[in-house]
Amino acid sequence: MFAIIATGGKQYTVSVGDVIKVEKLDVKDGKKVNFDVLLISDENGVKVGNPVLTNAVCEAQVLANGKEDKVVVFKYKPKKNERKKQGHRQPFTEVKILSVKVKND
């Protein structure tokens, strides 16, 4: 069983027990969070939302908030002695998928 969830403008393929890094969420460590489910595949077949499935829920627990490794951004103009060096560390939230459920109506 797997699902496709949407968060932070991106889509992730997840199943129960997966640990993924998503765009930073404003949630403390140890708290639970729910994600929008776009598609779910299980033994009953595939269900696709339009754009999201209203009767499906993906529950995850926040493990950590942090920053990725530094990426160096170096810009220059040749023959002009113009140089600009910057660094960037993208913030992330690490979550563990606890359950992916479909509510039967």
pLDDT digits (tens, 9 = 90+) for 52-69: 998 899 999 999 999 999
CA distances from 26 to 11, 50, 67, 69 (A): 18, 27, 14, 20
Q: Which residues contact 68 (CB under 8 A, 6 or more apart)?
A: 89, 90, 91, 92
For the cut 70, the answer to whether the pLDDT of residue 105 exceeds it is: no
Comparing 31-45, 60-74, 81-95, which segment has the lowest mean pLDDT? 31-45
pLDDT at residue number 42 = 85
The percent of residues in the chain predicted with pLDDT above 70, rounded, is 99
Pairing verdict, β 32-42 and 71-77: unpaired
Q: Decide if pLDDT at 80 tops 80.
A: yes
What does pTM read for this prediction?
Answer: 0.83
- For the cut 90, the answer to whether the pLDDT of residue 28 exceeds it is yes
In the predicted model, is pLDDT for residue 104 greater than 80?
Answer: no
